[in-house]
Amino acid sequence: MTQLEIAVTPWRLGNAASLAEQGEFAEQLEFHSFWLPENHFGDNRSIPSPLTLLAAVAARTSRIRLGSTSYLLPIRHPIQAAEEVAVLDHLSEGRVILGIGRGIDPNMFHAFGVNPKRKRSIFNDHLSTMKRAWAGEPIELENGETVTLAPLPTQQPHPELWVAAFGPLALKQAGRLGLPYLASPGETVDKLTVNYGLFKEACVEAGQPIPDITPVMRTLFVSDSNTTLNTVRRALAASPSREPAAVEDWAIIGSKTEVADQIQGLREKLGVTHLVARGRLPDVDTPSLMTSLEALAEIRDSMLV
């Protein structure tokens, strides 16, 4: 079994300085990567420009990789998006992992003047243009002129790409691209087993090799306090937008021994190579969340022995 890489998301959303501090703490604990989502409109969870915030993290770190859980291609101009990714890759000296997605909120598409029914075809077209731009190929414009991207990404031919996917059509699209599939953190292990089966079938049907990277994102919390653990479980059970399943089916919660066993179970069932630990939890203070991450680092280290 290959070595498991463990990554983290912010445990508190906030301004650039706060996120940079969290990225620095994650680097001190030697986590593989630090991930930001993309969310638009509505409340303080909105992160409309994850690459801008990751640039702030890049300035405070030097080793940890920087990831976007779903950089939404259909709502962006592909040449400008390619430029922004290349700049962040330069700024971070080649540490970008670009998780790309299509988006699901109809209001977001309407706000950006995008037909939601065309999001998958636009995604494919934009990704194709971006990959050609990153490779230094001239990109032809509507007037017949061409432009060439500068600077090119530090990583060549482009930064590492993962595809965030939710639903059968998105899974098949990811498989046809032959890129690692990053699952939603709210799906059960049984659902993920089915999803990875569909994804691998799509890879084979498209003549693509099955990626050797299998990333999974899971809500994760480690504590020796049963009282705290029960509080977290109740809060997660009451959270919206989750499948009607027990918390244990879609989250990893427990003592260090219990969490280590659950992680090992994921590896055996799904072949997980990269675990992205989602740390934002209701009713848990910041010191407890940071202590949980320290315990997770100890679990990781024990798995390397």
Q: What values do phi and psi take at 83, rounded to 5?
A: -65, -45
**Tokens 């740390």, residue?**
279
Q: What 8-state DSSP symbol labels residue 304?
A: T
Closest to 64 in 3D by CA, of 42, 36, 37, 31? 31
Contacts of 197 (CB under 8 A, 6+ apart): none
> For residue 206, what pLDDT is reported?
96
Per residue in 133-173, pLDDT (tens digit) is 999 999 999 999 999 999 999 999 999 999 999 889 999 99
Residue 259 has a pLDDT of 97
Which helix (H) or strand (E) segment holds residue 81: the answer is helix 78-91
Q: Which residues of the chain have pLDDT under 50?
A: none
To 10 degrees, what angle do helices 16-28 and 50-60 make? 50
What distance in Å separates the CA atoms of residue 184 and residue 182, rounded to the nearest whole number?
7
DSSP per residue, 231-281: HHHHHHHT-SS--SS-GGGTEEEE-HHHHHHHHHHHHHHH--SEEEEE---
> What token pair was written down for 18?
């706060």
pLDDT for 305: 57
Q: Which tokens is 203 given?
A: 């890879």
Q: Which of 12, 10, 9, 7 is nearest to 285 (CA)?
A: 12
**CATH of region 5-303:** 3.20.20.30
Please give the pLDDT value at position 76. 97
> Over the stretch 223-232, which tens digit does the pLDDT of each residue have?
999 999 999 9
Kindly report the number of other CB atoms within 10 A of residue 244's CB atom. 5
Quickly count: other Cβ atoms within 10 Å of residue 73's Cβ. 23
Q: Which residues contact 132 (CB under 8 A, 6 or more apart)?
A: 139
Q: What local confidence, expressed as pLDDT, does residue 241 receive?
A: 54
Domain boundaries, the chain: 5-303
Name 147's bridge partners: 139
Q: From the CB of residue 43, how many other CB atoms can be counted at a distance below 10 Å? A: 6
Determine the pLDDT at residue 238: 85
